Every structure is written in C-alpha cells, then in structure tokens.
Amino acid sequence: MLKTLIFAHRGASGTHPENTMTAFQAALDDGADGIELDVQLTKDRVPVIIHDETVNRTTDGQGWVKDYTYEELKKLDAGGWFHPAFHGAAIPTLEAVLEWLAPTSLLLNIELKNGIVRYPGIEEIVLKLIKKYDVKNRVIISSFNHYSLVEVHRLDPDVETAVLFMEGLYEPWEYAKALGANGLHCFLPVAVPELLAGAAKAMMPVRPFTVNEDQHIRALINGCDAIITDWPEKAVIIRKQC
Ligand code: G3P
Ligand code: CA
C-alpha cells in the first residue's frame, strides 16, 4: 500500500513560529518525513526563509524582504509574534537549513517565492546551494511561478520539481509534464478523487496543501503521495492508526 509521506508546512508551524530553525527541528522530532519552506532573496541576494514578501506579519520589523540586507534581516525577531517563548528566533538562510538538514534523512520541499516580488536568478542561486550540500536526491522545488519551474528544469533536469496551484487545472498531470515538472502540489479542495485517480494513472505524485483537519488527514492518508501539514505530530499519529 502507498505510504503517504508527511511534510511539515513551514516546519511544524502549528506549534512553532513558521519557517524558523525551531519549527524545522520540531518537525524532525515529530517524525515528519520532510519539511516545506519558502525562499526569497534579500537585497544582497542571500536566499532566506520567510513566507510573506514583507517582514510585517512574522517579525518585529516592517518592510519588504527585498529591501533588507541579510545583516539587517538577521537582527529581526521572527519568533516573538508567535509566542514569547520563541522570542529571538531568527529568519534562517537557506544555507543554514541545508547545513542542518544534510546529515538527517529529511526530505525538503523548497518553494521558490517569485510572484508579487520578482527575484531574477533565484533558481540558479538555490540550485548551487543544493549542489553544495549534496541533497539533490532529497529535494523537490515547487513554485506558483511556473516559469521558475521551467528554469529549474533547464538548469538541472535531475532536480525534482512540482507545480503549485490553487484552482482546478484541466488534466494538471499533462500540464506538469509539458513543463518538465514531476509532481503536483495542489490546494486541498482541488485534491478530489478524479484528480488523484488521473494523476496516479499518469504516475504523477500529488502532495496537497495545507492538510490540517483530522478528517482531511484521514481521507488523504494512503490516498496520495504526501500531505503538507502544519501539524506533523498529529498527522504521524493518525497515519499510524490508518
Ligand atoms: O507549498 C505549499 C504551500 O506552502 C503553498 O502555499 O502560501 O503556504 O506558501 P503557501
Ligand atoms: Ca509555501
């Protein structure tokens, strides 16, 4: 039977401040198979892990990520907004995460943020780091910017990519193949039986996001290749019961 993998969305973000080292360590401790994280570039083109294009929601700072140098960005508190116990957690670099992840057996889903704010060349910068830490066979690069996926595939066809999408695409497995992509990361409501069956027939892995409610976890465990969840600890327990 298909074993559905569990990816911790922005780390164990239900219990820890998203996209921080403490959230990634918690995901590993919870027994997740992989982590998902979001990459953007600072003003001096350092790849950093943060979801929003501004630092406003998840730090004590204000403004666009792209307008901060890394030296400035690393001084921000990315933990206190979630709970005072996490005060002082920093925005990690992608390099720091890769250095930490390399000796583990975790899988890594790197989402390239390249939408509202454009980061020309982000694909090449990220691929270089993946190569440096020799984790190519454990990485999936996804993006809502499908031009970025084509660029990743052009630069290194051996790196796995996945199409991120919100709405019901017609035969998304055919679309993904046309881009040279290897998987589908769809918004949870789109992960209907027809999509799962069509993708399975086309041998295209499906990893829906964000699968947080017990009933959704139960419905998808053993029904798709992976789920992306804020609550890896709970998902691991449910998987054991199914
Ligand atoms: O990669 C799945 C999911 O993270 C995509 O949406 O907005 O949480 O980055 P978002
Ligand atoms: Ca993401």
Query: For residue 190, is it within any domain?
Result: yes
Say which residue the tokens 């973000």 belong to.
13
- Is 84 contained in some domain? no
Q: Does the annotation mark 9 as catalytic?
A: yes
With a threshold of 0.95, tell me whether the complex ipTM lies above it: yes
Number of domains in the chain: 1
Question: What spatial distance separates the first Cα and last Cα of the chain, rounded to whole Å?
Answer: 11
Q: State pLDDT tens for residues 176-231.
A: 999 999 999 999 999 999 999 999 999 999 999 999 999 999 999 999 999 999 99
Closest CA relative to residue 237, chosen from 217, 210, 207 = 217
Mean pLDDT within 99-106: 98
Q: Report whether the peptide linkage leading into residue 210 is cis, meaning its omega lies within 30 degrees of zero.
A: yes
* C-alpha–C-alpha distance, residues 73 and 242, integer Å: 43
pLDDT in tens, 141-181: 999 999 999 999 999 999 999 999 999 899 999 999 999 99
Q: Is residue 61 part of a domain?
A: no
Q: Which atom of ligand 1 is nearest to the CA of 51?
A: 9
Give the range of the structural domain holding residue 220, as residue numbers without chain letter.
Answer: 5-53+93-241
**Residues contacting 54, CB < 8 A, separation 6+:** 62, 63, 64, 65
Mean of per-residue pLDDT scores for the chain: 97
pTM higher than 0.90: yes
Give dist(CA 21, CA 10) in Å, integer: 10
Give the number of other Cβ atoms within 10 Å of residue 52's Cβ. 17
81 located within any domain: no
Ligand 2 center to 110 CA (angstroms): 8
Residues 6+ apart with CB under 8 A from 240: none
| Residue 83 annotated among the catalytic residues of the structure | no
Residue 73 lies in a domain: no
> Quick check: 29 pLDDT over 70?
yes
State the CATH number of the domain containing residue 117.
3.20.20.190
User: How far, rounded to the nearest angstrom, does the alpha carbon of residue 186 sit from its chain's CA centroid?
Assistant: 12
Mutation to probe ligand 1, out of 111, 112, 187, 207 (largest number of atoms < 8 A from CB):
111
Whether residue 210 is contained in a domain is answered as yes
Q: Is residue 28 part of a domain?
A: yes
Q: Whose CA is nearest to atom 3 of ligand 1?
A: 209
Residue 179 lies in a domain: yes
Measured distance CA(91)–CA(37) in Å, rounded: 12
